[in-house]
Structure 1
């Protein structure tokens, strides 16, 4: 805190800026954050839940939701060290529980993050893993002196990163045993982002080798037969990889799913109460609605949760306008890959989400990468666990009373932009960027139909190349147009397949501002090669009139004279647009 003393009077004034707390954006080391006086949202009761919890706990949460910070917090709480670290927990919630504070600084802790082990091949992964495990073994080098000769030689080979590949398979199990024998205390194992190299392996084509390694390395190290040797193990990641592929031998595993009500539900991400406290501390209470619109919307175990990375980044950037924060840090490759390779049903479901509506699907808590693309429920499960969907309102399906389903929706504006970005990329051509600008300008500048016709024709070339041009599904063309319109959501409310008049309109565009006051009704048609695109477009306009779709816009406050009717047809590579 800065103090300034005047010459005439010995008076001290305090700079107001120094009274405002400071975030440490990007700092995910608990000790560094506390030592540097960074603003800290107290999650220390997570420690209590780990002590009271299961022997091995897997906690899947999206990227940047505080997993690494919480894991380093566990490390500095439990880990034996020459200097006491108890001061780090002064004034924290866990300090009010003396019985739990007795565990502070009492255990050997094996801490390992796998988030930097992404490689383009299995051989390169093994090389990087040898280096990382070698570093870990060197942290406990004094142990080697107490080992029998054969074990000591193997230990030192791993330290020098000279061990054959097969010695890595038992390296975690052996280090746990060595620590227990040396310190005479059970061991705590903390493995952060365990699935990051597995996701990379799936994308790069060496998933089977990776799965075999992880089953042996992780499974063997954390087996129940370790008994008193292992006190607690905590594993974090995005996904719960199917037990039969990775955790098949871990009968002692407890999975803290974000779908479950339980003690871990509020330990990752910020709750409503925590956000309220943050906004008051930083004196930005007037930004609550913006933050809620952009970064709220997640639901973990019945708690409303905010994305912590995005919220912190936004507050740090005030007075700059809100923008995607989390999307700029997270790898979207697997998400985009699975959405792009999904079939017609996925495209239809994506259309529903983009229109602001909800889907209802079961969510699989056991992800097997090879099965992700086999049905929509697997893809939406991947998206939920990756942070791209909100899931709530669990109900058993009417068609199967034993199948639990969830209402799925886009959680906030930041994630909506991710889907819009995906749609733009999915059908991207060399002219796509300029084409999207021309497409947007048609609506904002009320240009003549031929401009929209030519623009859509250019943009659609990438779309029709993915299908037999004579069999392009109307729903896919509809979803494509809807995805392009998502770029206009700041000035238009976009509705899809909505009840209007005496039917269901394909797309309604309701103005949000007087600057762009024209409302649009769009009817999309896909016409067979031998069909008549001009007639189909005329029929589309007739359908709008006869079904009185205009009523929906009039009811929304759009004057009849401000309503434009558009019929858009696709016939092979030709787009026809009729306006009325």
Structure 2
């Protein structure tokens, strides 16, 4: 008999989840804390992270559906308040879900807002002149008709903006104007509102969408609410023991090995400098449903526009792997700007907080886990090399097989082939540094993606070997040099550059770390031919 319980994959209704006996990680203590505290809230989290379920839980609570919360933390917390205040009260709940609707025209957004307003105007008998006026009258009328303040829940408030941000700037600006006036009502109607909660992927700058809604409490980077969505390590081990055991058994792993693999592949999202690391719930639930570890979250969306942003900004790609530094203002700069791609990467879930320096007040960002790391790098590879998107996985495996077999010439020839196709975006002869960055990015991507199969260090920095690949019996140390020579007369210069690369490996003792390991150490020095825009020569020497 299967020990796998019903996983709520794609289930966004709290009522459906509870009545149909789906697995639920109890987040209701957060619910109680929020409804008993502040009033108007905003939460930014990546897609598929449980935002819709969170709002549905608020809805069930404010509709007084006490039976759905039986056995959960909030039941005990509410009972403790009995006699002090009314508990399990029923409020008028106005729920606006932007997951519904097509937002490719101005009318698309207006129709969605009109549909939302009509739904509740039919219940409460409200009217108005325009959208903001109708919304304000609706909130007031709901309060007057029921004798209780209204609850406003808005899911994925930014979806219309995200769908037009990189496609139609004029339409995006129209959306901003419409939504700014609409959301501003939440402040002007404050006396009629019991509770409001907005969710989205991004929080746009306060000078735009939220400029009129300045009573908003942003929970996105707060320590106390860092675990409100997602699954923590403690929740994983306490709530999913049967599923972890089944996963381990079906994949010939011990229980501890299964836990370690889950952590490496799906954990690591951190939304506050002092917050808990969180697992991506969508991936984790799919793993337990299938008993197979795949890239579930990454497969649901391709970050094409983010790849384009990074290229336009000439961003140093290796920095994404744990070497991005921003202050709090930088994290909160949510503008869609190709020159500033990092805040969008953070909010979208491709980067997360890795550490925080109290003295400098700087956050260090990087990929949260292997699913995101390799998925994102896989998407970058076709943008920086000649490898087709559908051939990236095969190409990386071929690289691995060649170097593992000791075929350095085959490996370098293949590397030469993919670098020869690097696009240069019409760079001028003066842009030597950018060309070198393109070369380094291509090399970095190959080695970083090989790290799925073998331990690889990729430095690409002065004073350290560019790349190190370590097998059980051998270690490769790579150093790449750029040469501006490409004519037949200057071919010797390319050979000299490759030899100098090996010389640098020896002089700076890059092999010292491995000298006592008993492993064969192979130095590979390579030169780039700037004229032909590819690898020119390489030298191999056993140390």
Instruction: Give the TM bin, normalised by the shorter chain.
Output: 0.7 to 0.9
Aligned to 1:162: none
Q: Deviations over 1:490-548 (max 9, x none)?
A: 33222233899xx421111122xx4xx43211111222256633332222222223333
Q: Deviations over 1:123-176 (max 9, x none)?
A: 3xx3254145315523541433xx5xxx37x6xxxxxxxxxxxx3344433322
Instruction: Give me the whole-angstrom Cα distance separating, in 1, the residues matched to 2:397 and 2:263.
Output: 29
> Does the alignment pair 1:569 with 2:528?
yes
C-alpha contact (below 8 Å) 1:472/1:526 kept by paired residues: no
Q: Give 1:59's match in structure 2, choosing from 39, 43, 52.
A: 43
Equivalent residues in 2 for 1:146-545, closer than 5 Å: 151=127, 167-205=130-168, 206-219=171-184, 221-223=185-187, 225-258=188-221, 260-262=222-224, 264-282=225-243, 284=245, 285-286=255-256, 287-301=258-272, 302-318=275-291, 320=292, 322-343=293-314, 346-347=315-316, 350-354=317-321, 357-363=322-328, 364-370=330-336, 372-374=337-339, 378-396=340-358, 404-429=361-386, 433=391, 436=396, 438-447=398-407, 449=409, 452-453=412-413, 455-465=415-425, 467-468=427-428, 471-473=431-433, 474-497=436-459, 503-511=463-471, 514=472, 517-529=473-485, 532-545=493-506
Aligned to 1:127: 108
Deviation at 1:78, TM superposition (A): 0.5
C-alpha contact (below 8 Å) 2:109/2:160 kept by paired residues: no
Deviation at 1:234, TM superposition (A): 0.2
Equivalent residues in 2 for 1:92-107, closer than 5 Å: 92-96=72-76, 97-98=78-79, 99=81, 102-107=86-91
Aligned to 1:47: 31
Instruction: Give me the whole-angstrom Cα distance separating, in 2, the residues matched to 1:333 and 1:102.
Output: 51
Instruction: Give me the whole-angstrom Cα distance separating, in 2, the residues matched to 1:478 and 1:190.
Output: 47
Equivalent residues in 2 for 1:17-28, closer than 5 Å: 17=2, 20-28=4-12
Alignment: residue pair count = 510
Aligned to 1:69: 53
After superposition, the Cα gap between the structure-2 partners of 1:547 and 1:135, relative to the gap in structure 1 and judged at 3 Å, is: closer
After superposition, the Cα gap between the structure-2 partners of 1:471 and 1:331, relative to the gap in structure 1 and judged at 3 Å, is: closer
Equivalent residues in 2 for 1:68-87, closer than 5 Å: 68-79=52-63, 85-87=65-67
After superposition, the Cα gap between the structure-2 partners of 1:180 and 1:218, relative to the gap in structure 1 and judged at 3 Å, is: same
Deviation at 1:310, TM superposition (A): 1.1
Deviation at 1:446, TM superposition (A): 2.9
Instruction: Give me the whole-angstrom Cα distance separating, in 1, the residues matched to 2:352 and 2:403.
Output: 31
The range that moved more, 418-427 or 38-47, is 418-427
C-alpha contact (below 8 Å) 1:118/1:196 kept by paired residues: no
Instruction: Give me the whole-angstrom Cα distance separating, in 1, the residues matched to 2:135 and 2:9.
Output: 32
C-alpha contact (below 8 Å) 2:101/2:108 kept by paired residues: no
Instruction: Give me the whole-angstrom Cα distance separating, in 2, the residues matched to 1:499 and 1:208.
Output: 41
Instruction: Give me the whole-angstrom Cα distance separating, in 2, the residues matched to 1:498 and 1:479.
Output: 9
Root-mean-square deviation (CA, aligned residues, Å) is 2.8
After superposition, the Cα gap between the structure-2 partners of 1:118 and 1:566, relative to the gap in structure 1 and judged at 3 Å, is: farther
C-alpha contact (below 8 Å) 2:159/2:200 kept by paired residues: yes
Instruction: Give me the whole-angstrom Cα distance separating, in 2, the residues matched to 1:275 and 1:41.
Output: 9
C-alpha contact (below 8 Å) 1:510/1:558 kept by paired residues: no
C-alpha contact (below 8 Å) 2:117/2:134 kept by paired residues: no
C-alpha contact (below 8 Å) 2:447/2:467 kept by paired residues: no
Deviation at 1:326, TM superposition (A): 0.9
* Partner-residue secondary structure (3-state), 2:165: helix
Instruction: Give me the whole-angstrom Cα distance separating, in 2, the residues matched to 1:577 and 1:194.
Output: 54
Q: TM-score, normalised by structure 2?
A: 0.86
After superposition, the Cα gap between the structure-2 partners of 1:323 and 1:435, relative to the gap in structure 1 and judged at 3 Å, is: closer
Deviation at 1:362, TM superposition (A): 1.7
Instruction: Give me the whole-angstrom Cα distance separating, in 1, the residues matched to 2:284 and 2:538.
Output: 45
Aligned to 1:10: none
Structure 2 regions of 5+ residues with no counterpart? 246-254
After superposition, the Cα gap between the structure-2 partners of 1:112 and 1:103, relative to the gap in structure 1 and judged at 3 Å, is: farther
After superposition, the Cα gap between the structure-2 partners of 1:24 and 1:495, relative to the gap in structure 1 and judged at 3 Å, is: same
Deviation at 1:365, TM superposition (A): 4.4
Instruction: Give me the whole-angstrom Cα distance separating, in 1, the residues matched to 2:109 and 2:437.
Output: 46
Q: TM-score, normalised by structure 1?
A: 0.80
Instruction: Give me the whole-angstrom Cα distance separating, in 2, the residues matched to 1:529 and 1:169.
Output: 66
Instruction: Give me the whole-angstrom Cα distance separating, in 1, the residues matched to 2:133 and 2:529.
Output: 60
